[in-house]
Structure 1
Amino acid sequence: MTTLVGLDLAGRRVVVVGAGVVGTRRARRLLEDGAWVVLVDPSPSDDARRMASDDDVELVERAVEAADVEGAWLVVAATGHPAVNAEVAAWSVARRTWCVNASDGRGGTARVAASSTHDDLTVGVVSTGDPDPRRVATVRDALADHVRSGAVDLRRQRTRRGRVVLVGGGPGDPGLVPVAGLEALAAADVVVTDRLGATALLDRLPPDVEVVDVGKTPTHHPVPQDEINRVLVDRALRGLTVVRLKGGDPYVFGRGGEEVHACRAAGVEVSVVPGITSAFGVPALAGIPLTQRGVATSVHVTSGHAGADAATLASLAAGATVVLLMGVAALPGICAAAMAEGVDADLPVAVVERGSTVEERVTRATLGTAAEVASREGVRAPAIVVMGRVAAPGFLDDPVCATTAPDDDGAGR
């Protein structure tokens, strides 16, 4: 019979015997758990030497001795020699130290679970008979997918310290919400939500989860920010897990910083799950690449509330792509100011309404016509405005847009 136990190895000595492929792989996993790892091998691999040179592990370059397992909390016998692994396991048993025998699962006293972590839970799977790593990994992956889907109620059942998680819900399509965001929602006792983002996910919540709607429109702010902050802190101080579900990314015009400040000032634990900001996600889904080698090598993201400020005008004049959030009302003024500064009136402009949803609509114009076209077409918020050459109709279909410019734009970074 095998009992599945979680070991806290942070700061504790773990000896890995064998610094080949298997040993270094096990060592890396142990390092992720915060263990103090000692690698023992008379001929360590180059990978093991690199780990030691970075001070990640302590490397002992000689054959293993019985004394090496003294004081260890866990021993991993991962040499390519079953007889050596068995001897190390015997030394460990004599010292009442748990030992994983990598060449003979039945010959050790411990097995490493194939695991996945979800918020503050770790789900592990081990074989109780002969080791079968692929089978174990298959079951682990299936369980992880089920938990990550948000279908499992991850709420804590015991009294605990409350916390707040700011979740970036992306531009609107629930499929674009990060896995960590779905898991946070599955653990939520309270969800404080905007009107934008993946609000369809609220339908998946258990009926007893409290949902606080603080949604704002461009002209109507029913719940001021101070009150939102108060709600977050109040529920967390009651010992509840609070998810602040926001459209886009919490830190891109989402006032996430203000909410983090409020939580920290009240001594409330707070964390952030980044989301796909609509400034980048919506244009991408609409077929608008914000940068293109030889066409646009920088992006300026701004808010309509800032209007035609100096940074926006300078970016347009320099040929950068400008992305305007919450800017439908400010569009005429920004276009007029840009043309007054000498920006070409024929510069392409694209307005994407309700991006990523089934109601998405893309309206094309130019700097000189955008105000009139938006009015005529009845463009309404929420919408993303993109100004720049990349916003031209059919930009990705036009081979003329291809360039032979050198790869000097930081591609892949």
Structure 2
Amino acid sequence: MKKLIKWNGKLMLRDWKTRLLLIGFFVFLGSFSLLYRQQNVTLPEVQLRSEYSDAHQIFRMIPDSHFEGEVGQEVQLRLGRNSTLIGLNRYILSQREGNTIDGWEEVVSDYLNNGREMAENNLFLHEATEFESYELLQSVYLPSVAETQQELAFYNALEDYGLDIEWNPYASSQILEQQLELFITTILFIVIALLAGDHFTKEQMKNYSVTQGIPIPIKRQWRIRSSLLWAMTWGVALIGLLCSYLISLVFETTGSLNYPSDIYINQTVSYIPLWQYALLLLGMGMIVSYLFLLIITGLSWMIRNVYLTLFVTAGLVMFYTIWQFFTPVTGWQPSFYTNIVGVVTGSSAAQYQLPGIEFWRLPLIGVGVWLMLEGVFHYIFSFIPTQTLGLKRRESK
């Protein structure tokens, strides 16, 4: 087995297409931080400037008469306070010193305290159903209750970790998060599809295995090829991600790998450090990519057409979108888990209204899918002769 794995590995690496794809894959991932810095990203300070404008606009949209009475006056007070707090936080971000400004703590307060107060004001406004322009507040001004509670949890997480609000979207930690999410959702599937799309076909059509002695069970070849491609893909990916992060440390602020990232678990959104979030994405990506490599290498021998294989693979990756038109029954549906970031952040659960779509289910689903693939391809490969075209290994006398 060791000799067979070594021979298959050398054979694959000698293929010019494999080398070209792996090199291109590494160059893209390794230079991602440089490419990301070329795009225009909205600074948090600018985003708050837009919110500040909206906070003033809502006063012009609500008639003055609606601010009369006890409820109206309280709503007016909360809206006015939010406008002030947004302005203070915008000033704090513009100074780029942290959550406070030295010597001005009593004037501008603390960014986290300001943010918490705004969130609490918004929760009050959600409950002010007797206000005459309540529907206008809901439709134009207020974030949802879930978003507001998520903001509170974010500010609490920053305080728990002892971190400042990140003012720089080009910080190394922020770029790493963006790169991981793009890689796990899109780039990974493209690379494994291109790598595995015709490897198994080449093996059978060119009879490489003859030189190693026949019969070599097709099922064994299928497993070996899938595992080697998986190892090559992730070896290059991890090195590329590390290079990109190290390069970004040279050109930008470092940020923090403890910065809070949202995660959906137990049907609520919580926050964990970025490094834990990164490991979670990578772990889920490794599980899903291995299953897809098993599927692609198996299909490449059955279909023997790389373009059709890639088309089928793309269909499997995007199959979860079909549930936008049909009502899904359970959160155990395997197709949901190809959208890894959507599962981890909870956007899939919200979109399909299935609270049970949670990341911890993926390993269990993965084992079930793997057993199913083993059974399906064992049955299919039993109909395929191992010794193709009547070729036999030359025997020395």
> Quick one: higher RCO (CA 8 Å, sep 6+), 1 or 2?
2
TM over 0.5: no
Q: TM-score, normalised by structure 1?
A: 0.19
TM-score by length of 2: 0.20
Which structure has greater helix proportion?
2
Judging by fraction of residues, say which structure has more strand. 1
